[in-house]
Amino acid sequence: MSSSTQTATSGTPGPPGREPAPPELRAALADSGSVGLALFPLGLALGVLVVHSQLAWWWAPVFAGVVYAGSLEFLLIGLVTAATPLAQVASTAFLVNFRHVFYALSFPLHRVRGRWSRGYATFALTDEAYALTTGASAREWSGRRILWLQVLCQGYWVAGATIGAGGAALLPVRLDGLDFALTALFVVLAVDGYRTERDIPVPVTALVCALVARLLLPGQMLPVALGLFTAALLIRRSFTSKELTRA
């Protein structure tokens, strides 16, 4: 038997340039597929909105790659174009992304090895990555699989934003209503969350907080509403804990 036949029958990998992708990458591609279907078109909307806001197209990949916080990026476009003071930008970013403090309590960062890897995993801890990596099916995932998942999610987002901005810069067609894309996404997520938990007080409390913020400080509705809602959830949590302790 020739040496080439022995190589084919023994299952020895082919040339280095044609080596298969690592198993963690293949698994992460399957894990992130459904999320990518949402992140990529939403990134397109972000890119188009950047150009329509009279910003240079390259700001889209900068926002997507450096800021990488979907809801904040959409808000940041308006803040940048309005020349908002840095202190207000910082306070808005803190309130919008404050939920990530609680994400860190259950995110499996201990599985990720290496200082740089952990740093990136912390930076790329988005809503989608948290939802995928803390589910029951992800309890046995390795640190590399988690990292590949986060890299792919950011890749979908950056690619969508870059293509959207490039297309909007080349085609003089204005699409109105794209700034509502993220709002629509969170409405869908809220509806799905309600269907899962059926917890009526939570959406009712959110609506009341939004209305109160609208009446009291319409110019600062978002941070005020988020602050009120967070306080309401903490108060409810304390009462629930006391009831469980008594029981």
pLDDT tens sequence across 161-214: 999 999 888 876 666 666 666 666 667 667 766 776 677 888 888 899 999 999
| Model pLDDT, residue 61 | 92
> At 175, which amino acid appears?
L
**% the chain with pLDDT above 90:** 18
> Is the pLDDT reported for residue 147 higher than 50?
yes
Alpha-carbon span 5 to 8, nearest angstrom: 5
Supply the mean pLDDT for the chain: 80
> Is the pLDDT reported for residue 9 higher than 70?
no
| Model pLDDT, residue 5 | 45
Query: Burial, 128: exposed, middle or buried (Cβ in 10 Å; 0-12, 13-18, 19+)?
Result: buried
Give the pLDDT confidence of 206-223 residue by residue, as tens digits. Answer: 899 999 999 988 888 877
> Is the pLDDT reported for residue 116 higher than 90?
yes
> Is the pLDDT reported for residue 78 higher than 50?
yes
Q: Please give the residue that has the higher pLDDT: either 147 or 91.
A: 147
> Is the pLDDT reported for residue 240 higher than 80?
no
Q: Please give the residue that has the higher pLDDT: either 242 or 81.
A: 81
| Model pLDDT, residue 3 | 45
CB contact at 8 A, 146 and 112 = yes
Closest CA to 223 of 64, 123, 95: 95
Alpha-carbon span 144 to 4, nearest angstrom: 34
> Is the pLDDT reported for residue 12 higher than 50?
no
Task: Say what the alpha-carbon torsion angle 79, 85, 86, 92 is, to the nearest 10 degrees.
Answer: -50
Closest CA to 129 of 106, 161, 155, 153: 153
| Model pLDDT, residue 179 | 60
Q: Please give the residue that has the higher pLDDT: either 14 or 60.
A: 60
Contacts of 43 (CB under 8 A, 6+ apart): 64, 156, 157, 158, 159, 160, 161, 162, 163, 164
> Is the pLDDT reported for residue 125 higher than 60?
yes
| Model pLDDT, residue 218 | 85
> Is the pLDDT reported for residue 241 higher than 80?
no
| Model pLDDT, residue 244 | 59
DSSP notation for 135-174: SGGGTT--HHHHHHHHHHHHHHHHHHHHHHHHHHHHS---
| Model pLDDT, residue 120 | 93
Would residue 171 be called left, alpha or beta, if left means φ above 0 and alpha means ψ between -120 and 50 degrees?
beta
> Is the pLDDT reported for residue 2 higher than 80?
no
